[in-house]
């Protein structure tokens, strides 16, 4: 096989791999949601991280924020904290151990799945959660697409 042919085969393989990775990436897109009745329109990743790490208790407009987590150990939860707060499960556990021990906060309540988070957020204008993009419906509004 010539060098030119080998490079062409390698390039084709890379393109096929990238093409196959595209849909998988879209399927794992996460969105941060609030109730459709909430006044919050958009949030930055740092604002979302502060809410979910207990560093802020209020939305930027001053209203109380009630963060809701996915269940401990879920891939969605791990992905959310890695992307938004740059925290692994171990770092997140250490963070909350310190916050609870020092009396500075309690971790968000966790719910079993995206459907449960969406239902709870839809009924509470102060709630904020995260779900798969495909689980969106008109009862909630996406305020951040997690990249």
Residue 21 predicted with pLDDT over 60: no
Asked if residue 108 lies in contact with residue 77, where contact means CB atoms within 8 angstroms, the answer is no
Residue 25 predicted with pLDDT over 70: no
Q: 123: which residues sit within 8 A by CB, 6+ positions away?
A: 35
pLDDT, residue 28, reads 61
For residue 57 the two structure tokens come to: 């208790």
61-101 pLDDT, tens per residue? 999 999 999 999 999 999 999 999 999 999 999 999 999 99
The architecture that CATH gives domain 28-146 is: 3-Layer(aba) Sandwich (3.40)
Helix/strand number for the chain, H first, E second: 5, 5
pLDDT, residue 116, reads 97
Is the whole model's pTM more than 0.75, yes or no?
A: yes
Average pLDDT of span 92-119: 96
Residue 147 pLDDT class (50, 70, 90 cuts)? confident
Domain coordinates in residue numbering, the chain: 28-146
């Amino acid at each position: 096989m010539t060098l030119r042919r080998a490079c062409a085969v390698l390039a084709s393989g890379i393109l096929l791999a990238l093409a196959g990775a595209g849909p998988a990436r879209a399927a794992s897109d996460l969105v941060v949601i609030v109730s459709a009745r909430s006044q919050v329109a958009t949030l930055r990743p740092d604002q979302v991280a502060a809410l979910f790490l207990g560093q802020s208790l209020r939305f930027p407009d001053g209203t109380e924020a009630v963060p809701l987590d996915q269940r401990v150990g879920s891939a969605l939860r791990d992905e959310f904290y890695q992307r938004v707060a740059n925290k692994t499960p171990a770092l997140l556990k250490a963070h909350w151990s310190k916050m609870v021990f020092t009396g500075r906060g309690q971790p968000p309540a966790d719910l079993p799945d995206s459907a449960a988070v969406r239902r709870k957020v839809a009924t509470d204008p102060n709630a904020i959660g995260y779900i798969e993009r495909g689980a969106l419906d008109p009862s909630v509004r996406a305020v951040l697409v997690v990249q």
